[in-house]
Amino acid sequence: MSFTIAIDGPAAAGKGTVSKAVAAHFGFAHLDTGLLYRAVGALTLKGTPAIDAARALVAEDLEDPALRTPEVADAASKVAVIPEVRAALVDFQRAFARRAGGAVLDGRDIGTVICPEAEAKLFVTASAQVRAERRFKELTERGLETSLKAVLADVEERDARDRERATAPLKAAEGAVVIDTSEMDIETAVATAIAHVDAVRGGLSK
Ligand code: DC
């Protein structure tokens, strides 16, 4: 039986951590859909046109360690506005969502466009300031030199691009439970997410 959990939200809100923990808790497969856009973005930085890159994407493209750099994040957000790029990635995501045994997908448009029929929908968010502080800490811990000001500007620029694009903009899906992690620790965010999924599963089994 399939069961899809759609988790959307802006960068550095805690979406990835919540998604991994929820998937582990329920024994579901997890897909970080941002990696698909990052892989396409990384290929464009090497000179491949974005639409060609999206249509020819293979599993190994998702394993490039460079996908986690701010340059690739920026390229990902740029290719993500192109409708043909998004269209080329739909089938893979929908097939993943409906795999037997359950799936968690996290991204920007999972509950709105990719899986509007998902059994459980969550929107994990936080203020831009808090997200920038988290991202800054993460980047400096990884040895990348940057400033909080630059990271905040980057977060705000990427948010605006993701929220204002015409195709599949970032927004909470109808019926999504919103988890604002600005003043919430990650354990509470995970517990809130799990409680919502449990409530849906309880309702379905009645
Ligand atoms: O979640 P992330 O930071 O890895 O995502 C990188 C970019 O990819 C993000 O700025 C917007 C885009 N993206 C998207 O448009 N739709 C998704 N489902 C996931 C990511």
pLDDT values of the chain reduced to their tens digit, one per residue, 206 residues: 899 999 999 989 999 999 999 999 999 999 999 999 999 999 999 999 999 999 999 989 999 889 998 899 999 999 999 999 999 999 999 999 999 999 999 999 999 999 999 999 999 999 999 999 999 999 999 898 999 999 999 999 999 999 999 999 999 999 999 999 999 999 999 999 999 999 998 887 76
How much is the pLDDT for 205?
Answer: 74
CB 97 within 8 A of CB 114: yes
Does residue 38's CB lie within 6 angstroms of at least one atom of ligand 1? yes
Residues across the chain = 206
Beta strands in the chain (DSSP E): 4-8, 29-32, 103-107, 120-125, 177-180
pLDDT at 92: 95
Distance of CA 28 from the midpoint of ligand 1 (Å): 21
Comparing CA positions, the residue from 43, 52, 45, 75 lying closest to residue 154 is: 75
pLDDT at position 1 is 82
Residue matched to tokens 């003043």:
183
For the segment(s) 4-192, the CATH number from 3.40.50.300, 3.40.50.261, 3.90.226.10, 3.20.20.70 is 3.40.50.300
Residue 158 CB–ligand 1 contact under 6 Å:
yes
CA of 193 to the centre of ligand 1 (A): 21
Q: Residue 13: which of 130, 95, 116 has the closest Cα?
A: 130
62 residue type, one letter: L
Neighbouring CB atoms inside 10 A of 178's CB total 12
**Measured between alpha carbons, how far is 136 from 133 in angstroms, rounded to an integer?**
5
| 204 CA from centroid of ligand 1 (Å) | 30
Q: Which atom of ligand 1 is nearest to the CA of 114?
A: 18
Contact 65, 86 (CB under 8 A): no
165 lines ligand 1 (CB under 6 A): no
The pair of three-digit structure tokens given for residue 166, joined into one six-digit string? 């015409």
Query: Could you tell which of 77, 105, 155 is best to mutate to test the pocket of ligand 1, judged by most ligand atoms within 8 Å of the CB?
Result: 77
CB 8 within 8 A of CB 172: yes
107 Cβ inside 6 Å of ligand 1: yes
